[in-house]
Structure 1
Amino acid sequence: MNEKLSRPQFNQMDTTEKQTLMESLAARYDMTFLGLHTFDRWDQSCTTGIFEKDGRKFVFVPGDTVTLGWERFAVGLNQESREELEYLFREWEMEPQNPEEMIRESMAPVRQAAIGPMLVGRELEELCWEPVALDDPRLRPEWLEEFRQFALTGRDSLTLVGHARFERDGDGWQAALYHRMDYSDFRSQLQKQGLSLPTADEWAYLCGGGCRTLFPWGDGLDYSMRLHWFEDMDEDENRPYDMEEPNFFGLSIAYDPYMREVVQADRLTTCGGDGGCNICGGLGPFLGFLPCSPHCKPEVQEDNELNGDYDFYRPIIRLENYD
């Protein structure tokens, strides 16, 4: 790894040096350099470059050698999370369990990983859906009729599973067609664009930055956060979900357990969510968000067909040969 692109050295560079380095990266990868920005969150910080290409925003993430995986609390489970688990054990008439042992079963083993520098997509992107006009001839008459009936209800989103989707967009509607997609075919498409997916280890670094706590902010859930699926939306509709806000690398990552992030592997593998299984199972916020931990075991899916309702992706460019 080029020393300048490793996190310890990169963080010590002054603004002029970083500016020059970022401009050279933009030229090399045919991107627009939008400027330097400091991301400071959860006791980690990085002043880095933001880029744009083909409508996507990327951020430069320096490489590092970090410890990943989890086997015990670094600080200890906070009182609120402990009480939530104890309540669940009673509700489900389970024998009281050691929370550390129970959580360890879901976590990947502790390991050292050398992570290379990357340009990383700041936002998760959809799979399988193609936005289309409402008069697109591929939208079947029976789908449009169902949509017309639905539009009268005043609700905002209709999904005809495996076929089409209609979402309210201001005063109008946005339609989308569903295309079945195979994991290996999708990776080939990305490769032709000069893009890749992060590996599970790279994803864990992008999410946790090498943190040794269960979550980037600590060992328990922070109940002062505004969390997807556990907020009364009427209270403050415009307040953003805390976990969706950019992390210390400037990434919006691991904020919604329903959204599985596809990573690079031999078979379709996902991180950062379980498709909402724990939440649907009534397991509450702590266990509901446990799959969003950077240390959670990657989930190898049963087949290689991507699921456009639950699977999402984050494009990256590895800077392997940068000198």
Structure 2
Amino acid sequence: MNENWFRPAFDRMDAAGKQALMESLAARYQMTFLGLHTFDRWGQSCTTGLFEKDGREFVFVPGDTVTLGWERFAVGLDPDSRKELDDLFQEWEIEQAPEELVRAVMAPVRQATIGPMLVGRKLEELCWEPVKMSDPRVTAHPDWLKKFRDFAWSDLDSLTLHQSARIERMKNGFQIWIYNRTDHDALLAGLEQQGLSLPTADEWAYLCGGGCRTLFPWGDGMDYSMHLHHFESEEDQGKSYDMEEPNFFGLSIAYDPYKREVVKADAFTTCGGDGGCNICGGLGIFLGYLPCSPHCKPEVQEDKELNGDYDFCRPVIRVQTSGWKMGQPGDAG
């Protein structure tokens, strides 16, 4: 395989070389190349290509051979995180050492070779379909329409009828969604029809952590200076969420423990969140965000049905580099 598709060699390429490679990539996968962009965060950086296709924005992520998984703190638990855990353990009468508790929910250490990918930059919602108020699937429910009218005269920004319908107040009116039940197999089949896939658990861990050996991409503890989902103060209202900002690959990933990211596996499996279980259970910021660690064990769900309130997906295209000729379009793989 051409080494230029892998991170060490790709990072050494000059702008002209990357430009040519990205233009060739755009031609092969029938995408619009938006240009090169440098992403620099948490001690890692990557100058890579941005693309657009069918309303989605993708970024090229070079492959690499990395160590994934976790068994001990690489630097050491910082004082603020240790104090939070000490107070929590005392309150809950937990006798385990913090490192033992963390290790129990982390995936084992392993080497993995990750191939190059075109990766959707943002999570995509599942099950919810945007529709117009006149859609017969909406007008067939007078009770929905009454609740929507009541909502319109209220001060609320949104209203959700559990796994049925949703309405949100927009700048230019209202947007309605209806809920379509679907399962893991249907999601994979639908993506495959579009020439897309999902990252595997190992690929997801690489996209999230880039091969970092610390517990989180930024270090071994929680950074309490960050503006975090579900832990915002009044003065933080309206500010962007730090973890949601693009990482070193340009991806908005693993920023909200309530959002489980579906990965490619034989069974319905998720990474990047626990549906908010730890936060709902009152376990605080550190343990609340622990499922967002790139090293956390993937969670195999009990059934195949997706939950549109908690399950999200990130489309990827694995770049097929065999027989690649620069500048010549080929079949998508």
Q: How does 1:120-199 map to 2 (within 5 A)?
A: 120-139=119-138, 140-199=141-200
SS state at 2:136 partner: coil
Q: Deviations over 1:262-282 (max 9, x none)?
A: 000001100000000000001
Q: Do residues 116 (structure 1) and 115 (structure 2) align?
A: yes
Aligned-partner SS, 1:138: helix
**What does residue 50 of structure 1 align with?**
50
What 5-or-longer segments of structure 2 have no aligned partner?
Answer: 325-333
> 2:238 is matched with which residue?
238
TM-score normalized with structure 2 length: 0.94
Structure 1 residues 55-64 or 313-322, which shifts more?
Answer: 313-322
Question: Hey, what does 2:80 align to over in structure 1?
Answer: 80
- The alignment status of 1:14 with 2:14, answered yes or no, reads yes
Provide the C-alpha distance between the structure 1 equivalents of 2:258 and 2:94, rounded to a whole number of angstroms.
28
- Asked if the contact 1:64–1:115 (Cα under 8 Å) also holds between the matched residues in 2, the reply is yes
CA distance in 2, matches of 1:102, 1:202: 25
- C-alpha distance after superposition, 1:56-85 (max 9, x if no partner): 100000000000000000000010110001
Could you say which residue in structure 1 is the equivalent of 2:220? 219
State the match for 2:205 in structure 1.
Answer: 204
Give the structure 2 partner of residue 249 of structure 1: 249
**1:268/1:301 contact within 8 Å kept:** yes
- Identical residues among aligned pairs (%): 72
* 1:136 shift after superposition: 1.5
On the 8 A contact 2:227/2:236 being kept in 1, the answer is no
Paired with 2:300 and 2:172, the residues of 1 have a C-alpha distance of: 41
State the Cα deviation string for residues 96-140 of structure 1 (Å, max 9, x = none): 321000000000000000000000000000001110112212111
Equivalent residue, structure 1, for 2:65: 65
* Counterpart amino acid of residue 172 in structure 1: G
AA aligned to 2:164 is H
Report how many residues are paired: 321
CA contact (8 A) 1:86 1:96 kept: no
- Contact (CA 8 Å) 2:272, 2:292: kept in 1 or not? yes
Q: Does 1:292 align with 2:311?
A: no
Q: Deviations over 1:247-268 (max 9, x none)?
A: 0000000000000000000011
Amino acid at match of 1:127: L
Alpha-carbon offset, residue 149 of structure 1: 2.1
User: 1:273 is aligned with what amino acid?
Assistant: G
- The amino acid of 2:148's aligned partner reads F
Residue 328 of structure 2 aligns with which residue? none
**Residue identity opposite 1:286 in structure 2:** F
How far does residue 2 in structure 1 lie from its aligned partner after superposition? 2.4
The one-character-per-residue Cα deviations of 1:218-272 (angstroms, maximum 9, x if unpaired) are 000000111110012x314332110000000000000000000000000110000
* DSSP-derived class of the 1:113 partner: strand
Aligned-CA RMSD value: 1.0
Please report how far the alpha carbon of residue 193 of structure 1 lies from its aligned counterpart in structure 2 after TM superposition. 0.4
8 Å Cα contact 1:61-1:120 kept in structure 2: yes
CA distance in 1, matches of 2:102, 2:235: 32
* CA shift for structure 1 position 172: 1.7
Segment drifting more, 156-165 vs 283-292? 156-165
Q: CA deviation at 1:171?
A: 4.6
SS at 1:8 equivalent: helix
For the residue of structure 2 that corresponds to 1:67, the secondary structure is strand
Corresponding letter in the other structure for 1:217: W
CA distance in 1 between counterparts of 2:87 and 2:172 reads: 45
In structure 1, stretches of 5+ residues that fail to align are: none
**TM-score (norm. length: structure 1):** 0.97
Q: Please say if residues 34 and 49 of structure 1, whose CA atoms lie closer than 8 Å, have aligned partners that are also in contact.
A: yes
Amino acid at match of 1:194: G
